[in-house]
Chain A
Amino acid sequence: MFRTSVWMLRASVVSAYLILASLPFIYALRRLAYVTGHSPFEALMRFDEVYGGAEALTYTLLEASVSALLTVLIGLPIAWCLGRYEWKNARILRALFSVPFVMPAIVAAMGFLLLTNSESGLFQIGIDLRTETGVIGDLARLTGWDHPGHFIALVFAHAWFNLSLMIRFVEPTLARLNPAWEEQLSLLGQGKNRFDRLRHLWWPVLGPAVLCAASLSFLFSFTSFALVKWLSPFNNTLESLMATYGGSAGIEDYRVDTSEIVMSASMVQFLILLFALYMTSTMQQRHSTRFSLVSEGNAKSQRGPPRMGAKIIVYAGVVFAMAPLFTALFASFKVRKGNFSSGFAYDWSLDGWRAAWSGDLATMGIGDALANSLLYALCTLCVALPTGWFLASTIHALEVEKRFKTAKALDVLTLLPLAVSAVMVGLGVLLGVLRLMPELFQWSYLPVVPHVILTTPFVVRVMLPAMRSVEPKWIEQAQVLNLNRYQTWYHGHFSFVRGPAVVASSLTLAFSLGEFGASWLLVRAGSWDTLSVVVDQLMSRPKFDPLVQPAAMAAATVLMAITFLLFFVAERFRHEGEGGGF
């Protein structure tokens, strides 16, 4: 009876989430099909006729592939060093490496623009990625490559953004790998030299985790919009193409060309990302079931404190992770001076912070915006965490019952919101709400809906490996102790997934704070504005007034500080050996 009720509850939660997650896309597709007169399949076939579509697809595939590769090249050594040795401040380091992933893209873009401007260290040593003079200009001339500097800045920004994926996937496996494996292999013929050990130990152990992180990096770089818009202004990705022309998509007898662009591009993007998500899911399953692991503290204590080389790699990684954020902090105090006829002139002052706090330059001050952000983040957490938990436990229960195909299908379906263009979801939410319940637009908590849709897949991604690693015998042992059903669940199951649940919670809060969805809402009332929306508002307005840019940076700094605090707290709650979070 209890078992049936649990399955019914699971089925209800799964159905509700899947309907909520897929309806916007279906509504948007229906409207675009009606406006253009083409079925989605026809739109797919007509992709090469869409203006700018082929160029955008080529550029998207190129930048996403290079970004994923660069993420591996930068992230893997850091994860290796972090996972192999006993670090005194491991929690702080992990929190620092996590911050970029949840930064609003607009903040990241500003940070990278500051790092590549004419006053930056890179510029001083002759690497001019922005105006492409010097070495970069020569590279462009010699190779005929248009705007190589912008491409390099973009892929590094993507690698920065996705750095924590590599660390979160690879570091826990390394940290908890039984050192006996390595010792045993080095005694065998198959592990005599580095190449052999790489082939017979490290690749089988780390390969799935690396590929999983790489495929997710590919996915996030593929759907990147703000970074592309700011760092690579001469090129479009599929997402930026849709965002540019998507505003008028779906309107009958008006700018039908934009509907065609959005429909074709979104179908191509959907299929490519569906494939990437399938790969991610497959890799993650291999990653989480392949090896038995030991406690993190035990493994690390056998390897000792970090060597100098490891310290250099990790601290250089910290500098890379923090540099764009610190430049944004400094920029919040830097106010353009009145008369600059004699060249650059700036004042260092708190005027930007005052302007940001007062809200004179945006729809609201940062205090009110932060209150809204926190409120929405908490509401999102209250819905996304149990929903994600239920979805993960349903997938795991299906796996336990050996219904692998259904489990896999559900696993991929939970990732679908990540494969759908924000433009499509925005249009779909608008059309869906208009048709089903227009009064929802006056409901203050509407922004929570897209936040839940997008954060739930991350909760699933964090909880599922944790649930897979819980041994059934732990529940049996708890049952032997004559505990009641809830106590058994708490001691035999929950206590083992509490750490990942804390990590999932902090990720959910951070994603919600960093927006991830509010901009989907095409009808967005000012009173709903969050901190990341205020940053975007400030960055988008004309900056004749010298206070606009420092005010935007001040708002971004508050957002960064809150995000760092969240991850730092989450790391304190996560016990050693409880996994990295994905």
Chain B
Amino acid sequence: MKTAFWLVLIVLMGAPLAGCLEQTSASEECVVLPAGHADDGVLRILTYDITALSDALTDEFTNNTGIEVEMIKVDDAGGILDQMMLTKEAQQADLMIGLDNTYLPTAIANCLLQAHDASAENISDSALDFYDGPLALPFDQGDVCLNFDEDALSEANISAPTSLEQLTGEEWKGKVAFPSPVTSSPGRAFLVASVEYFDQQGDGDPMAWWEDMVDNEAIITTGWTEAYETHYTGGYGEYTEGYIGDAWMTVSYCHSPGVEAFYAENYTHSTSLVLDHASFHQIEYAGIINGAAQIDGANQFMEFLLSSEVNINMPENNLMYSVIEGADLPETNGYRYHADLPSAVTTMTYEEIEANMDIWLDAWKSATKQA
């Protein structure tokens, strides 16, 4: 047995020495890569669980174009980037749908996307503000901000905070849940918002605030789902299994109370905290993967996704705002009424996010002592 034990260990310990160092470094300049997989006529879409990409929608596309669609699903927007990075040598998908503006700069910097031919004609300026280049097009948008439970605050006789600093007070101890920016895209969006919020204050230090929040027993979760469903008292989570309900405030979208009302016949006790520069205008993108085989199909799907008929239904099908010029949320069941619009969202540019995201994440990890 001893022999076998040591044999296994030696094989496994020695494996890395067996010629692994031939892997090459990332190229500095982007070139269009040859297809990473054979073109069998199927359009493969790398995405996360985007509700708009239903069977009905893809069937409609297939009926219109004759192109079959296959979804490769990962957990979230970060998973899309990870997947594209890992399969860089032989990409297995043709089109990515779901990277947001906190991830897009990294994807572009790593040459993971190639130019598309889809038209951006009917897309609103607000959706094109962040990135208007040839490598990706926005397909939905929404503002990430803090949501709070009106009933819980009223019961505790607390008024809604008028600044982020107030959240470090005793009355908010253990009552705020944040999805981690390291593992969640809304978490990442709110981190950017917090940086800009304190930047606007002049002498504020966002990481000191995060440190104070952790000292005030803020709950850090891996994803939006855990923060909103398990911990937040103001949302539908209290009707789902696993609910703990120990947070009066969490990060979600400014229009999340509208979505709550839409599904609950115009009732919600959740509202959003609209503080200047404490919300982030999140935009989600579609783009053709560098190394795609079905480029024509990918272009056609982007056109289809951005057509007025499909994109206008984003609020109902994807719980996000459409990017079509002039589109708005429906009024059904108080969807639009309960959806708040922030007066001043973050103005971080593509370049600022590209240059600083890793620095902010490292600083956040140090401040909150999170992995």
Please give me the residue from chain B that is nearest to A553 by CB atom.
B241
- B72: chain A residues at CB < 8 Å are 523-526
B159 → chain A, closest Cβ, in Å? 22
Q: Is A405 an interface residue (CB 8 A)?
A: yes
Classify chain B's interface size. 35 or more
Is B241's CB under 8 angstroms from A526's CB? Answer: no
Is A408's CB under 8 angstroms from B1's CB? Answer: yes
Q: Is A245 an interface residue (CB 8 A)?
A: yes
- B3: chain A residues at CB < 8 Å are 405, 409
Question: A51 and B371 in contact (CB under 8 A), knowing A233-B221, A409-B7?
Answer: yes
B60-82 with Cβ < 8 A to chain A: 70-75, 78-79, 81-82
Fill in one digit per residue for A248-264: 1 if any B CB lies within 8 Å of its CB, else 0: 10111110011001000
Question: A248 and B85 in contact (CB under 8 A), knowing A29-B15, A413-B8?
Answer: yes
Fill in one digit per residue for A81-113: 1 if any B CB lies within 8 Å of its CB, else 0: 000000000000000000000000000001001
- B224: chain A residues at CB < 8 Å are 542
- A336: chain B residues at CB < 8 Å are 236, 239
CA gap between A56 and B228 in the complex, in Å: 24
- A261: chain B residues at CB < 8 Å are 371
- B359: chain A residues at CB < 8 Å are none
CA gap between A114 and B243 in the complex, in Å: 10
B40-90 with Cβ < 8 A to chain A: 40, 44, 49, 51, 54-56, 70-75, 78-79, 81-83, 85-87, 89-90
Is B38's CB under 8 angstroms from A442's CB? Answer: yes
A75 → chain B, closest Cβ, in Å? 26
A526-551 with Cβ < 8 A to chain B: 526-527, 537, 540-546, 549
Is B4's CB under 8 angstroms from A442's CB? Answer: no
Which of these, A410, A412, A442, A542, contacts B319 with CB under 8 Å? A542
CA gap between A405 and B86 in the complex, in Å: 40
CA gap between A364 and B8 in the complex, in Å: 42
> Which stretch of B20-28, B281-289, B302-310 is in the interface?
B20-28
- B8: chain A residues at CB < 8 Å are 274, 412-413, 416
Is B263's CB under 8 angstroms from A251's CB? Answer: no
Is A339's CB under 8 angstroms from B265's CB? Answer: yes
Fill in one digit per residue for A379-415: 1 if any B CB lies within 8 Å of its CB, else 0: 0000000000000000000000000010011101100
Question: A409 and B4 in contact (CB under 8 A), knowing A117-B243, A251-B86?
Answer: yes
Having A241-B371, A526-B70, one finds 7 other A-B pairs with CB under 8 Å, namely A39-B13, A130-B244, A247-B78, A250-B86, A409-B3, A438-B37, A549-B241
14 contacts between A and B (CB under 8 A): A29-B12, A30-B18, A39-B16, A40-B13, A244-B222, A248-B78, A336-B239, A338-B265, A360-B55, A412-B5, A438-B36, A438-B92, A442-B40, A525-B71
Q: 5 shortest A-B CB distances, which residue pairs?
A: A409-B4, A33-B16, A526-B71, A51-B371, A113-B241
Give me the interface of A with B, judged by CB distance under 8 Å.
22, 25-26, 29-31, 33-34, 39-41, 51-52, 110, 113-114, 117, 130-131, 230, 233, 241, 244-245, 247-248, 250-254, 257-258, 261, 270, 274, 278, 331, 336, 338-341, 344, 359-361, 363-364, 405, 408-410, 412-413, 416, 427, 430-431, 434, 438-439, 441-442, 522-527, 537, 540-546, 549
Give me the interface of B with A, judged by CB distance under 8 Å.
1, 3-5, 7-8, 11-13, 15-18, 20-21, 23, 25-26, 36-38, 40, 44, 49, 51, 54-56, 70-75, 78-79, 81-83, 85-87, 89-90, 92, 106, 110, 182-183, 221-222, 224-226, 228-230, 236, 239-246, 259-260, 262-267, 319, 365, 369-371
